[in-house]
Amino acid sequence: MMKISKIREMSSPDLEKELGELKTELFKLKFSLATNGLDNPMKIKEVKRDIAKINTVLTERKIAELKA
């Protein structure tokens, strides 16, 4: 699970890359859950939260750019 402070330190291109990786991971986790079950189903929730945190920071940055 990523901390919000760590996310804010990352650059926007790095966040975009991380977002893509997390979405891929989420797809794989959901696929595994559907086919043979997961050892830790809570991992899906953690990945979703990380995606939401990254989207929030990216949106904050876009709003800040528009105001500047």
What pLDDT score does 37 carry? 85
* DSSP label of 37: -
Average pLDDT over residues 44-55: 97
The answer to whether the CB of 5 falls within 8 A of the CB of 23 is: no
pLDDT in tens, 2-49: 899 999 999 999 999 999 999 999 999 999 999 988 889 899 999 999
Instruction: List the domain boundaries for the chain.
Output: 12-67
| CATH T-level topology, domain 12-67 | Helix Hairpins (1.10.287)
Start-to-end CA span in the chain (Å): 32
What pLDDT score does 38 carry? 86
State the DSSP H helix or E strand holding residue 5, giving kind and residue range, or none if neither.
Answer: helix 4-9
Cα–Cα distance between 68 and 29 in angstroms, integer? 40
- pTM for the model stands at 0.91
On the question of pLDDT at 68 being above 90, the answer is: no
* DSSP label of 53: H
